[in-house]
Amino acid sequence: MTSYSKGDVHVFAGGGTDYAYLAASGGIVSLDRISTRILARLDNAKLERPVLVSQMVDEGFAVEEVNEGIDELYQLSAIHNGTPRDTSSQALPEHFPLQSLVLNVTNQCNLSCHYCYEFGEDKVATPEGKKKFMDWETAKASVDYFFNESRGRQSVHITFFGGETLMNFPLLKQAVEYARNEADARGVSLDFSLTTNATLLTSTIIEYLADNAIGVTVSIDGAKESQDAFRVFKNGRGTYDVIEPKIKELLAKHKTRPIAARVTMTSHAMDVLGTYKHLKHTLGFHEVGFAPVTTSPNRLYSITPVGMDNVLGQFQVLAEDYLAHAQRGEHHGFSNVSDTLAELHQGVNKSLPCGAGLGLVGVGPSGDIAPCHRFVDSDEHKLGNVSTGIDKEKQAAFLKRGNIDNKYDCHTCWARPLCAGGCHHEAFVRYGDTGHANLHYCDWIRSWTDTCLRIYGTIASQNPAFLDHFTERKSS
């Protein structure tokens, strides 16, 4: 006799409708009364089909309808009948062209942020004896390498990164001009972005960034108090007073791309609501994204589990504000929500947590290729050099290590389609292994994904047209 049990599915409600998030696929379906009740009955219970049907009939449903409901749920893997189903992820295509290049134009920085993953106590980089600033030959070779390895893509992206990116602004300009010509010659669409701490912005630079439609992300931790707690010059002086006027000028003059703020949350900077309000409304950033600091757990600035619960509470309040905006069809700048909604809408089901080492690589000043900007200049994680190309064996080993198939802890988690075990770099700092699931934030990820699912469901039932924004949106 066939027995049924609940499959990998997360049931949630939004806007008065019940939904199921199907973890085996990333699909989201709305449930009618019958399918909701079937799933409820199978929650923590294994029932033989006739028993399940008769229980449902007792509730007043017609036999035929119940049978249909069971079959539909089974077909989408929302329930199991004990027959094994293949759950391994799709193999990666043999040739996966690059889509994004992160060019670390320097590993030098004019700040000394205590928590920095490049210089701080948990750094993975081993920059000793290597070039501090990327030279023109290396930048040119990197761009050439990138275009060769991205063949087949119609649209590609170069991000400039550091250290402090603007410490090597002359090279950035040269690289932009060269890459743009190469892209034109190849008929490929190319766009640029950079991340900066904003201390070195000048009117000339801002004008250049605006004229060339270069996207800008500013690393900033919030209002003066939060910013100056960790984001300090080498002499310990806070940076807020220096960057405030520069950011205002940037936001006033640079209108060709949305300008984003990226906040690192620490034990000293956990005021999500206040920070968002300051960055969005006082300074005027288009979008604000938050990420907890990557650190070993014993650092002073590391956020404790209790602190993370507090952060989650604030995220949820801000997410409600996002929802209120979405219901009115208005933009809201909390990018942690919009990024998650974009992925939920598409229904991504990741075998790898991100594109590092696959569609994206980071290149350091020496021309060494790393899986992403966070591993640049680390000998242990070097995948090759732009002059000789990527070492396919090392690349394959890195990707295999990070694949969800090998993260057994994740196999029973319904949030795995989006998380896939989390950041390779975070895992390395915590566990010394890029392929380790980031178990320290599982509960957090599940709560946050659930929050975003409920928002998604509410929008889908009350203002579905709003979701069209995400149809076109790049899943990056």
Partner 1 sequence: MKHLRPINTKAHRMQERATLENDIVALQSGQSTAVKPHVPTGCTILFSPGWEVDSAGGTAGLCQPVERDIYDCYVTCFWPAQVPDHLNNAPDWTSKCALATKDWRNVDIVFP
Q: Which residues bind partner 1 (CB under 8 A)?
A: 2, 19-20, 22, 25-32, 34-35, 64-65, 67-76, 78, 81, 83, 344-349, 456-457, 460, 471
Of residues 39 and 279, the one with the C-beta less far from partner 1:
39
| Beta carbon of residue 281, minimum distance to partner 1 (angstroms, whole number) | 31
Rounded to whole angstroms, the Cα distance separating 60 from 28 reads 27
What tokens does 92 get? 């990666």
Task: Identify which of 60, 64, 83 has the alpha carbon closest to the alpha carbon of residue 72.
Answer: 64
How many CB atoms are closer than 10 A to CB 108?
16
- Coil, strand or helix at 391: coil
Of residues 76 and 141, the one with the C-beta less far from partner 1:
76
Tell me how far the alpha carbon of residue 269 is from its chain's centroid.
20
| Beta carbon of residue 34, minimum distance to partner 1 (angstroms, whole number) | 5
Give the count of alpha carbons within 13 A of 253, CB side only.
19
Of residues 6 and 424, the one with the C-beta less far from partner 1:
6
For residue 338, give every residue at least 6 positions away whose Cβ sits within 8 Å of its Cβ, in sequence order, or none.
Answer: 287, 322, 332, 470
| Beta carbon of residue 258, minimum distance to partner 1 (angstroms, whole number) | 24
| Beta carbon of residue 87, minimum distance to partner 1 (angstroms, whole number) | 15
- Is residue 19 within 8 Å of 457, Cβ to Cβ? yes
| Exposed e or buried b per residue across 265-296, where buried means at least 16 C-beta atoms within 10 angstroms of its C-beta | bbbbbbbbeebbbbbbeebebebbbbebbbbe
- Is residue 25 within 8 Å of 18, Cβ to Cβ? no
Of residues 128 and 472, the one with the C-beta less far from partner 1:
472
Task: Identify which of 376, 382, 379 has the alpha carbon closest to the alpha carbon of residue 397.
Answer: 382
Of residues 42 and 247, the one with the C-beta less far from partner 1:
42
Helices (H), 101-223: 136-149, 169-186, 203-211
Q: Give kind and range of the element (H or E) at residue 157.
A: strand 155-161
Task: Identify which of 136, 148, 141 has the alpha carbon closest to the alpha carbon of residue 188.
Answer: 148
Alpha-carbon dihedral angle through residues 363, 366, 367, 370, given to the nearest 10 degrees: -40
Of residues 69 and 357, the one with the C-beta less far from partner 1:
69
Counts of helices then strands in the chain (DSSP H, E): 16, 16
What tokens does 162 get? 């550091």
| Beta carbon of residue 98, minimum distance to partner 1 (angstroms, whole number) | 25
What tokens does 182 get? 């190469």
| Beta carbon of residue 86, minimum distance to partner 1 (angstroms, whole number) | 15
Of residues 26 and 274, the one with the C-beta less far from partner 1:
26
Of residues 25 and 199, the one with the C-beta less far from partner 1:
25
Of residues 5 and 212, the one with the C-beta less far from partner 1:
5
